[in-house]
Amino acid sequence: MQIVSYPHPTLRHKSLPIKRVNAELREIVSEMFALMYEARGVGLAANQVDLPIRLFIMNLEAKPDAGEEFVFINPVISRAKGSAEKEEGCLSLPELYGPVKRPKQVRVQAYGLDGQEFQADVDGLFARVVQHELDHLDGVLFVDRMSETNRLEIVDELDVFETEFASQREAGGIPSDEEIARQTAEWEKKYCL
């Protein structure tokens, strides 16, 4: 398992809800936490590790020995209130940052690994991370939510990611779109259908 970078096609995939949790999925989640901590991130969505399923993880302290670990399966956001603009970054767009306007407060409902539904009204960084990660499950990246003006400033940096991706693919480091679609269908069959 590894974190994929923009413009990997799985980052643009709208993931299907998860219908079953098994030992393999629990193992996947624990590998995702390890990867997220290694990259010093506060959140990581399944799409970012090339898995087309509706799940993301979070720990606002970005460290295994601090904060609280959250697993969100099939998350749904409602009751969005207010608006706040803050810098965001993404483990799939390393070293790139930009301002994103989002609702300040949201209600999130999801299932945990134990199959129990939970709900929380969150704001601040918690609300921002939840919205950023849920976007990933719909194939949306934070750069898509930046204003036109701010986006113009990062066009060159996005170009660098695209060039790097193309050369990695040419070197055989990244499967073809067809192969990725085949793997996606397999994961969906296993967890979502």
Active-site amino acid positions:
133
Buried-state track 76-87, b at ≥16 Cβ within 10 A, e below 16: ebeeeeeeeeee
Structure-token pair, residue 11: 């980052």
Nearest position to Zn ion, beta carbon: 90
In the beta sheet, which residues pair with residue 29?
none
**Residues in contact with 174: Cβ distance below 8 Å, sequence separation at least 6, in sequence order:** 8, 165, 168
Closer Cβ to Zn ion, 21 or 108, answer by number: 108
CB of residue 170 to Zn ion, shortest distance in Å: 25
Using the structure block, give the residue that is written with the tokens 């096609």.
9
Using the structure block, give the residue that is written with the tokens 């192969």.
179
Closer Cβ to Zn ion, 40 or 189, answer by number: 40
Closer Cβ to Zn ion, 21 or 48, answer by number: 48
Contact indicator for 141, 90 with CB cutoff of 8 Å: yes
CB of residue 83 to Zn ion, shortest distance in Å: 20
Q: Examine residue 17 and say whether the peptide bond preceding it is cis (omega within 30 degrees of 0).
A: no
Please give the residue ranges that form the binding site for Zn ion (CB under 5 A): 90
